Structure 1
Amino acid sequence: MSDARQEHGHGHGHAPNAPEAQATPTRTEQVAAVRPTYQADLAFGLDRFFEAPRTRCPWCGSARLTTRLRTTDLLQHKPGRFLLDRCQDCRHTFQNPRLSAAGLEFYYRDFYDGLGEKQLGNTFASRTKMYEQRARALLPFDDAPKNWLDVGTGHGHFCEAARGVHTGTAFDGLDFTDGAELAERAGRVERGYRGSFTELAPELAAHYDVVSMFHYLEHSTEPPLELEAARQAIRPGGHLVIEVPDPDSRYARLLGRWWLPWLQPQHLHFVPVDNLRQRLTDLGFTVVLEQHAEPHDPVDLLAAVWLALDNAAPRDNLPWLPHPPNALRRTLRAAVLLAGVPALILGTLLDRFAVRPISHRLGVSNAYRLVARRD
């Protein structure tokens, strides 16, 4: 990140040798600072960002695969084309070819941290009601868990909100990024673990009453191993709470590449609810709750309109592009986005007031949630 700082003038009351006030670099300065790194990365081409394509389904092993979706990075607009294949036997949908370790690093960079940290942090921090609703899903089965591990916790905003629902519970968070450490420093979690859940699970064995995975499993390279890690970390009689995008949502078909939960290239796996139920049963869990209407996030039409507009509008200033946009391109982008405002408003109204109350009956719920008890 750039160390460039803007200097500000001082009022008369300061001593002559007072240190200069330091300002956060502007976004333009931040983009300029990281552009050389991105251009160096891209000079080697994109092949190293992908593994070899799979010929078998990673969930059931079937060789009967068909292409479900072809798309690009519609959120960050980083270069690359991404394919999702679907198994014709178990209906599991997965990214194929999958991102390599280098690809995961490249496409995640500046999304949750760096250039994207402030915007996304604000988005997550503003979703308190949704987090509380997730926490309440456990109440009929355990209204006083002693300790709870939130896997893929990000900056710990769920844990902070859930503490208001489960007042006597100690919340820990685990994440690949430094978000878990930031959450611990901010007091949102008691303990923030940074690293891989599958690697840390042995030291957490039978330690937790509850493990939650909210929109985490679809990001993981090997979901079955994550489920085994959860079984290891939960004590007998404890609960696992999982929420993931629903690949059987009608919106997934109707909106195609403009359906936000595809979130390529970050989302690697889309597990139909029947598959996840069966896998949990095989691991010794009993599913005690299945929800579709409650976890639905009413943003599909708004997001589809925004993604289409953002894709049509000439590009913004992005460090993975060789040059910043000129004045004409900036003007054109502003004009396209302004012209799209009525469609954005209509999408919002339909999402929240027309579709949301009947989302499950229409079959368009974009997520499902399971609560499972470890037997």
Structure 2
Amino acid sequence: MTPDTEQIARARADYREELAGGLEPFLLPRRTDCPWCGSERLTCRVRTRDWFQRKPGEFTVDRCGACGHVFQNPRLSEAGLAFYYRDFYDGFCADTIGRLFESAGPRFRASVAAVRPHVTPGTWLDVGTANGAFPAAARRMLPDTEFHGLDMGEAVLEAERSGRVARAFRGFLTELASTELAGAYDVVSMFHYLEHTQDPRRELAAARAALRPGGQLVIEVPDPESLSARLFGRYWMPWLQPQHLNLVPLANMRKELTGLGFTVLDVRPRPAHVRGDVIAASWFLLNRALPRDDVPWDARRPGAAARFVRKGGVLAALPALAVAQGLDALLAVAARRGRLSNAYRVIARRGA
């Protein structure tokens, strides 16, 4: 449901109070070393903004010259994570994000098809499931599999109430994997989850703990080495700042999984491509050029003239956005043949 003017006005007072102290409390001190390997050979990969919600702040993504790890630096604090996640997966942006999840059905089904040659799962835990869009799509292909979902937000509880998952867990995988979830699953999936976490290595170890021996781990994450990242620069959709904290290169991912006792069964950069780079970058540029929409994290509501200009600008841009959508389809085809894929998929089997 789209929020009305009164809802936005009520939320504006809370945001105003939270922003009164500036943005400094939202960021930790800048690191001088790589969180993956400890090297101090850091360079700035990109400086960008929150193009989705247009909340305030500029964010730096660094790259390690020793291992290639890419990470947000300085990283968001707990207060920063709470501020920038608020009203994204729920609240004011919930409908928009929900539609994006639902549109991923074909990609989800392709992921299930990639797993089926390796295992016939009785139980499957989807980590970072949000509203349960993946289990809902996967159940059509695996009707005898019991799907569970784990996430931090309210949406995972609604996924259980609606029957999209048989059981919902609200919390952190790293806290539940060694107790309530230990050794319970034939498959654990992490679709665009690891990049949101503060310590991907701990998450991978937790996934191992939740799997039965011989169970499969399915990971899909943005590829920081993708050529599309260079092509779109600071407007590349998978930067998703400030939410994405760590982007792990494929070589680092394989090495870490092997060290945890996994056998890597399948690596597929191209089928994991998430369509939308062109239209997202086009929308980010358009949104930046037009007067701002009415959002509660802005100090005041836009005036009537600004709202008129914005509405007219969006209508005028619809043909260009349609062209961008067509270019995305062409990019998706090209991504299957080269290094333009913006993500990669790994399937690995837990050892005894």
Q: What TM-score results when the alignment is normalised by the length of structure 2?
A: 0.96
Query: In structure 2, what is the equivalent of residue 296 of structure 1?
Result: 273
1:198 equivalent among 145, 155, 174: 174
| Cα shift at 1:167 | 1.7
Helix, strand or coil at the partner of 2:94: helix
CA distance in 1, matches of 2:104, 2:2: 28
* 1:359 has 2:327 as partner: no
Higher RCO by CA contacts (8 Å cutoff, separation 6 or greater): 2
* Structure (1 or 2) with the larger CA radius of gyration: 1
CA distance in 1, matches of 2:2, 2:46: 39
Q: Which letter maps to 2:106?
A: K
* 1:156 has 2:135 as partner: no
Query: In structure 2, what is the equivalent of residue 340 of structure 1?
Result: 317
* 1:322 has 2:312 as partner: no
Query: In structure 2, what is the equivalent of residue 40 of structure 1?
Result: 17
* 1:187 has 2:187 as partner: no
CA distance in 1, matches of 2:275, 2:31: 34
* 1:68 has 2:45 as partner: yes
Map 1:32-111 → 2, pairs under 5 A: 32-111=9-88
* 1:267 has 2:244 as partner: yes
Query: In structure 2, what is the equivalent of residue 9 of structure 1?
Result: none
CA distance in 1, matches of 2:328, 2:98: 23
| Cα shift at 1:26 | 4.6
| Cα shift at 1:221 | 0.7
CA distance in 2, matches of 1:132, 1:40: 44
Which aligned runs of 4 or more in structure 1 are off by greater than 4 angstroms?
none
Map 1:100-249 → 2, pairs under 5 A: 100-142=77-119, 144-203=120-179, 204-249=181-226
Helix, strand or coil at the partner of 1:267: coil
Query: In structure 2, what is the equivalent of residue 373 of structure 1?
Result: 349
CA distance in 2, matches of 1:322, 1:165: 48
Helix, strand or coil at the partner of 2:45: strand
| Cα shift at 1:127 | 2.9
Question: Does the CA contact (< 8 Å) of 1:30 and 1:115 recur in 2?
Answer: no
Cα deviations by residue, 1:177-216 (Å, 9 ceiling, x for unpaired): 1222111111111110000110011111111111000000
| Cα shift at 1:357 | 1.9
| Cα shift at 1:84 | 0.4
Per mean C-alpha deviation after superposition, the further-off stretch among 105-114 and 157-166 is 157-166
Cα deviations by residue, 1:334-371 (Å, 9 ceiling, x for unpaired): 2332343333122111211x222221433110110000
Cα deviations by residue, 1:216-250 (Å, 9 ceiling, x for unpaired): 00000110000000011111101000000111111
Q: Which letter maps to 1:173?
A: G
Q: Which letter maps to 2:220?
A: E
1:281 equivalent among 251, 254, 258: 258
Q: Which letter maps to 1:361?
A: R
Gaps of 5+ in 2: none
Q: Which letter maps to 2:115?
A: L
Question: Does the CA contact (< 8 Å) of 2:221 and 2:343 recur in 1?
Answer: yes
Per mean C-alpha deviation after superposition, the further-off stretch among 161-170 and 356-365 is 356-365
CA distance in 2, matches of 1:129, 1:81: 34
Question: Does the CA contact (< 8 Å) of 1:174 and 1:194 recur in 2?
Answer: yes
Q: Which letter maps to 1:46?
A: L
| Cα shift at 1:123 | 2.7
Cα deviations by residue, 1:64-83 (Å, 9 ceiling, x for unpaired): 10011111111111111100
Question: Does the CA contact (< 8 Å) of 1:251 and 1:364 recur in 2?
Answer: yes
Computed over aligned residues only, the root mean square deviation of the Cα atoms, in angstroms, reads 1.3
Helix, strand or coil at the partner of 1:362: coil
Gaps of 5+ in 1: 1-23
Helix, strand or coil at the partner of 1:118: helix
Per mean C-alpha deviation after superposition, the further-off stretch among 293-302 and 149-158 is 293-302
CA distance in 1, matches of 2:333, 2:229: 19
Q: What TM-score results when the alignment is normalised by the length of structure 1?
A: 0.91
Cα deviations by residue, 1:266-309 (Å, 9 ceiling, x for unpaired): 01111111110110001000110111221112211111111110
* Structure 1 residues 239 and 79: alpha-carbon distance in aligned structure 2, compared to 1, 3 A threshold: same
Question: Does the CA contact (< 8 Å) of 2:3 and 2:92 recur in 1?
Answer: no
* 1:29 has 2:6 as partner: yes
Helix, strand or coil at the partner of 1:193: strand
Helix, strand or coil at the partner of 1:205: coil
| Cα shift at 1:25 | 8.3
